[in-house]
Amino acid sequence: MNKKIGSLISYLFIAAGAILASFSVACILLPNSAIDYGTAGIAILISKLTGFNLSACVFLVFLPFIIAGTLILGKEFGIKSAVGSIVYTVGIAVFEKVPFELNVEHFLAVAFGGAILGAGLAMILRYGGCIDGSEIFANIVIKKLSEVTGKDFSMTPILIGFNACVYLAAFFLINRNSALLSLLVYVVATAVIDHFTDHFEAIKQVTIITKDPAELVKCIKNELNKTCTIMDSYGAISGDNKTLICYINYFELSKMKDIISRNKGTFSTVSTIDEILR
């Protein structure tokens, strides 16, 4: 029952985050000549250049990334991403028709809109969802690279490269002011996201202390395709233990928490790793 309530709450927060994000884009950013970043930015560019309905463009651009995320990153991730994307798309369609005017300078409006966008996206990420296809794309690339090389990589270079292409397209296809204002949106939004998610694009180190590591190691290998470093440890009260250290990305953290919750008698911490040297 507790798990069902927790799952329901996570979907409600994902929907709330998607509503915040769509409000920011439709009512603040677009009226002030700025665009969203990532795949939403691509959808906005397509809509501006072709005249097609924005919400339809958003849905069509998001769809292949959601399908790919579901196939490669798991059913639960796919469902949460689909819920967030659908609410975001509907929110864009609704808020486009809402008369809302922010009578401040473009710079202030875009900074404020970027902060609201970042808060909405952070809420979605914290509860296991994702509506930006660039993050799904980066996650898939990292997953494939890790499988091939056996190394852990940060998503930051891929995300920066993806969004650089979006803003270069805005610079040449729309105008330079729109591109620069949109870049400000990216800076403000990612700063807010990093504050609430502790650098979601970075590698996460999960440290687990347990007396029976065998089942944990098996689940981590089968469900996350990750290995662990196992060390002997000693607790002042619990006595002899085993300490497991595993490196994952932010989108795998939800599944890791589920694995840990199924194995009672553990103590775990999660920390952010900026770089792994080999």
Are residue 113 and residue 141 in the same domain, yes or no? yes
Radius of gyration of the chain (CA): 20
Q: What is the CATH number of the domain that holds 253?
A: 3.30.70.120
Residue 61 CB coordination number (10 Å):
21
Instruction: Tell whether the model's pLDDT for residue 37 goes beyond 60.
Output: yes
Are residue 247 and residue 134 in the same domain, yes or no? no
Instruction: Tell whether the model's pLDDT for residue 1 goes beyond 60.
Output: no
In a domain, residue 152? The reply is yes
Q: Please state, in angstroms and rounded to a whole number, the distance separating the CA atoms of residues 76 and 268.
A: 23
In a domain, residue 278? The reply is no
Residue 140 CB coordination number (10 Å):
18
Are residue 125 and residue 260 in the same domain, yes or no? no
Which two structure tokens, joined as six digits, stand for 25?
A: 């884009």
Are residue 208 and residue 193 in the same domain, yes or no? no
Q: Count how many domains the chain has.
A: 2
Domain boundary, last residue among 167, 197, 227: 197
List the domain range (segments joined by +) for residue 247. Answer: 203-273
Which two structure tokens, joined as six digits, stand for 70?
A: 């579901």
Angle between helices 156-173 and 38-50 (to 10 degrees): 20
Band (154; pLDDT cuts 50, 70, 90): confident
Read off the pLDDT of residues 155-174 as tens digits, 9 standing for 90 and up. Answer: 888 888 999 999 999 999 88
Is pTM beyond 0.75? Reply is yes
